[in-house]
Structure 1
Amino acid sequence: MTTSIQDNDYAIEVKDVSMVFNMASEQLNSLKEYFIKIAKRELFFKEFRALDHISFNVPKGEVVGLMGTNGSGKSTMLKIIAGVLEPTEGEVVVRGNIAPLIELGAGFDLELTARENIYLNGSLLGYTHEFIDQHLDDIIEFAELRDFMDMPLKNYSSGMVARIAFAIATVTEPDVLIVDETLSVGDVFFQEKCERRIQSFIDSGNVTVLFVSHSIDQVERLCKSCVWIEKGRQRMVGPVEEVCKAYRNQFN
């Protein structure tokens, strides 16, 4: 469950969160075969515990890293915090509005124009129609796609879609910014532009940042503290230097 409460020192509280997915125990070759097995009660499922009793807090205004090798549950944790997934057990408390830079473009309608999708996606992020009216030029200017605003999104490249999505998500300074290192927005020059905007949020001291990366050097440079999740289990939470040192040692 994701709730919103005011006036507390923590922007994010993750309280004993577990996430369990049910997976088919055998491989099926078609949807028809799947439903036949279901009808005959011949299909069995096994549990996959993506997260196992995770707890940590993110203080307001701090940059906290989230580390772990591939398949450790980092993306699942981000989606729970962003409200995309509901945890199987436990609770997440988020205070303030979130800009989740996780799956850019999710919720877009490819049949609509870019301009129409700005209003659609903005509403999903909680922006009012009046707010988008006021910031429409800022979004278009940042995305650098003014000549393509009235083109259906189905004619956009994936990089162009990501540009629009990033511009919408970061048009205003959020209370909580969730950044996944898999973020890849357009060409290298536009990526640098996006990184500068994210850095400006960090430098303001008003934005709480949860930062996911495989780069230990990047985490050490940007973050004050760190959470290490490995294969769904919480390994360590603490000052970034201590957690990164322990993380490095597992590969030595």
Structure 2
Amino acid sequence: MAIAIKAENVTKEFTLQYHRTFKQITVALARRQQISDTFRAVDDVSFTVEEGESIGLMGLNGSGKSTLLKMISGVMRPDGGTVLTRGRIAGLIATGAGFHPQLTGRENLILNAAILGMSEAETMRKFDEIVEFSGLEKKLDTQVGHYSSGQSARLGFSVAIHVDSDIFLADEALAVGDKPFKRKCMQKMKEVRESGRTIFYVSHAAGSVRKMCNRVIVLENGRMGFDGDVDEGIKYLHYDADPDDVYEDEDTGDDV
């Protein structure tokens, strides 16, 4: 089977600034205090993902999950190593990412679709379906700056999930929003998975990962901690099923 994603010795560093103002920096330098430091958000990570795999990317907050996802999507470049992908990539790597608060939902939908590589014809063909999925018909001509975080997440996910892609990335896309919409998202992601597309799903929800993924990668302080069986990966993290993570089965009867 062909390889969809290949990461080799990937490293990404960031700089921490301990002082913000010029005055603070000047005083710190005069006192011979450290004014900045670097840390590795992702440190020498390597893995291969075959086409059609559903990967659950897990780890504690600050472990480097979102940074790794951004490098896979092409939003960031690694400082060391390489990330290679095959095919078109779509997804939601941050709630409301790419939205302009002074533009309406309609305008942001069209803009976001273009950013994700959809042609004007494709966007117009799928426009009504995207709006219906989001459930934001009545707020479509309202500025996104007046949306709640949940509504922004709805619009972002609705656009991304309707892009014809080979790889779908989701960074806690379902963490915000009411349970009916979460169920709808999980059902749609099930369809994406069954279509043979590759999924990279970042989540703390053990139940969702069990149902959606066939493999788990765990990051620990930026390094690869585990790569393998889903249940073993969840045990590695000492994660138990979240009581709020049962929405996939509630009222639907679907084995997502």
Give the match for residue 110 of structure 2. Answer: 119
Which residue of 4, 12, 37 corresponds with 1:19?
A: 12
- C-alpha distance in 2 between matches for 1:132 and 1:239: 38
Report the CA distance shift for 1:181/1:56 in structure 2 as closer, same or farther (over 3 A): same
- TM-score calculated relative to the size of structure 1: 0.83
Deviations 1:26-81 (A, max 9, x none): 3x3x5343675799998632111111100001110011222222221111111111
- C-alpha distance in 1 between matches for 2:176 and 2:231: 30
In the TM superposition, residue 176 of structure 1 has moved relative to its aligned partner by 0.8
Q: Name whichever of 209-218 and 132-141 sits farther off.
A: 209-218
- The runs of at least 4 aligned residues of structure 1 exceeding 6 Å deviation read 37-43
Report the CA distance shift for 1:34/1:117 in structure 2 as closer, same or farther (over 3 A): farther
Gaps of at least 5 residues in structure 2 are 240-256
Which residue of 211, 215, 218 corresponds with 1:225?
A: 215
Deviations 1:193-226 (A, max 9, x none): 111111111122x111112223444434432222
Give the match for residue 86 of structure 1. Answer: 77
3-state SS in 2 of match to 1:86:
coil
- C-alpha distance in 1 between matches for 2:207 and 2:175: 19
Give the match for residue 163 of structure 1. Answer: 154
Deviations 1:67-115 (A, max 9, x none): 2222211111111111122111111111112222221321111111111
Give the match for residue 5 of structure 1. Answer: none
- C-alpha distance in 2 between matches for 1:217 and 1:113: 35
- C-alpha distance in 2 between matches for 1:213 and 1:112: 30
- C-alpha distance in 2 between matches for 1:137 and 1:217: 32
- C-alpha distance in 2 between matches for 1:243 and 1:144: 35
Gaps of at least 5 residues in structure 1 are 1-7
Amino acid of the structure 2 residue aligned with 1:161: S
Give the match for residue 201 of structure 1. Answer: 192
> Number of residues paired by the alignment?
238
In the TM superposition, residue 246 of structure 1 has moved relative to its aligned partner by 4.0
- C-alpha distance in 2 between matches for 1:37 and 1:82: 40
Which residue of 79, 97, 111 corresponds with 2:88?
A: 97
- C-alpha distance in 1 between matches for 2:231 and 2:100: 43
Provide the aligned C-alpha RMSD in A.
2.6
